[in-house]
Structure 1
Amino acid sequence: MSEHHAVPAAHDGAAGDGHATMSIEAAGDEDLEAITRIYNQSVVAGGASADLHEQTREERQAWLSSHEPREHYPVVVIRMGGEVVAFASLSRFHPRAGYDHDAELSYYVDRGKRGCGLGRALVTWGIEAARARGFTKIIGVIFADNAASVALMKRFSFIRYGVLPEGSRDSQGVLHDVSYWYRALEASV
């Protein structure tokens, strides 16, 4: 199943008319540097990742390779002006086979492009991609104080089904409550 969508960006962060085109495309090895850079922005800043140290290219390669089969567990990037500015993935929610009907959505946006609608585009992509692959639920696992991601979950009618108090520490040593969200998916028509 090919991933490629061209959609108008709400704002591209540059001067002009604000109607830059972004494309959502399947991620490849050539995107690893950008994926690693964007992910590490969240690790270093704290508040959005449970990784305590910046990830190496090799660690991100292992993460990318873990999405197998790729047709079922895709990883995509958003390109604007040829530059990777965000990425997302559908992953196994749990290694036990009884959970195989659920997919976990993760997404990260370059700090210079936040607030431009890229998170909305990636959540929209995730819902559509999960539905097309026959998943019955899409799940988000986020720090409960991550206001932007909480707002996205609410905007897309995800239901918070649990909170693990002080469930994770970030790279800054801050303990965060971890919130669990899901959205039931109707069958693809």
Structure 2
Amino acid sequence: MQTYTIRPAEPHDLTAITDIYNEAVIRGGASADLEPVSRQARLAWVESHQPRDRYPVVVIDVVDPATGTRTTAGFGSLSKFHQRAGYDGVTELSYYIAGAYHRQGLGRAMVQWLLDAARDRGFTHAAAIIYADNAGSIALMRRFGFTRFGLLQGAVTSGDGRLHDMSYWVRLLR
């Protein structure tokens, strides 16, 4: 049984964050980016989470008990939902787990951490935008009591040229 820890992302995590994100881009169905992104682009994304004590970027590390090897298996964040100040009570959560670690409970652990962090920071709502055909993430949203409040049909193209529906989810935190 492997153990995990969730901790604030540090500069040395940028390569893992970029690699995990790009794996999701290539796999499809988790990002609207059509091509892998550069480390510089991911750095700009990390740095956009300001102030960091309100909008954290975190990583989830897995430790193999047999070897003691620590591997960054995913990352997540709380982001500004909208630039207008009236929306400051709403945060958007996002998370990415490396494919080798899917279906091991790490996504569930990350979403729980992000929801707890959102509550601790005084947010009133958490929102997520998910490909409507991403069954794993949809199941996770339902598990945590999110409600789908919108669907943009055929809104996002994928690398193969197909159009995908995007679903919008929200959970009241108070």
Gaps of 5+ in 1: 1-17
Q: Which residue of 2 aligns with 1:175?
A: 163
Following TM superposition, by how much is the alpha carbon of 1:95 offset from its aligned partner in structure 2, in angstroms? 1.3
Following TM superposition, by how much is the alpha carbon of 1:97 offset from its aligned partner in structure 2, in angstroms? 1.3
In the TM superposition, 1:30-179 aligns within 5 A as: 30-81=12-63, 82-179=70-167
Moved over 4 A (4+): none
Question: Normalised by the size of structure 2, how large is the TM-score?
Answer: 0.94
Gaps of 5+ in 2: 64-69
- 3-state DSSP of counterpart to 1:129: helix
For residues 123-178 of structure 1, the C-alpha deviation after alignment (integer angstroms, 9 at most, x for no partner) is 10111000000000000100100000000001111000010101111233221100
- 3-state DSSP of counterpart to 1:177: strand
Following TM superposition, by how much is the alpha carbon of 1:46 offset from its aligned partner in structure 2, in angstroms? 1.0
Which amino acid in structure 1 is aligned with residue 128 of structure 2?
G
- 3-state DSSP of counterpart to 2:49: coil
The answer to whether the 8 A contact 1:43-1:170 is kept is no
Following TM superposition, by how much is the alpha carbon of 1:44 offset from its aligned partner in structure 2, in angstroms? 0.6
Partner Cα distance (1:83, 1:102) in 2? 31
- 3-state DSSP of counterpart to 1:53: coil
Which amino acid in structure 2 is aligned with residue 144 of structure 1?
A
Partner Cα distance (2:141, 2:153) in 1? 19
The answer to whether the 8 A contact 1:163-1:179 is kept is yes
The answer to whether the 8 A contact 1:21-1:80 is kept is yes
- 3-state DSSP of counterpart to 1:48: coil
- 3-state DSSP of counterpart to 1:40: helix
Which amino acid in structure 1 is aligned with residue 30 of structure 2?
A
The answer to whether the 8 A contact 1:35-1:86 is kept is yes
The answer to whether the 8 A contact 1:50-1:171 is kept is no
Which amino acid in structure 2 is aligned with residue 173 of structure 1?
G
Range 173-182 or range 67-76, more displaced: 173-182
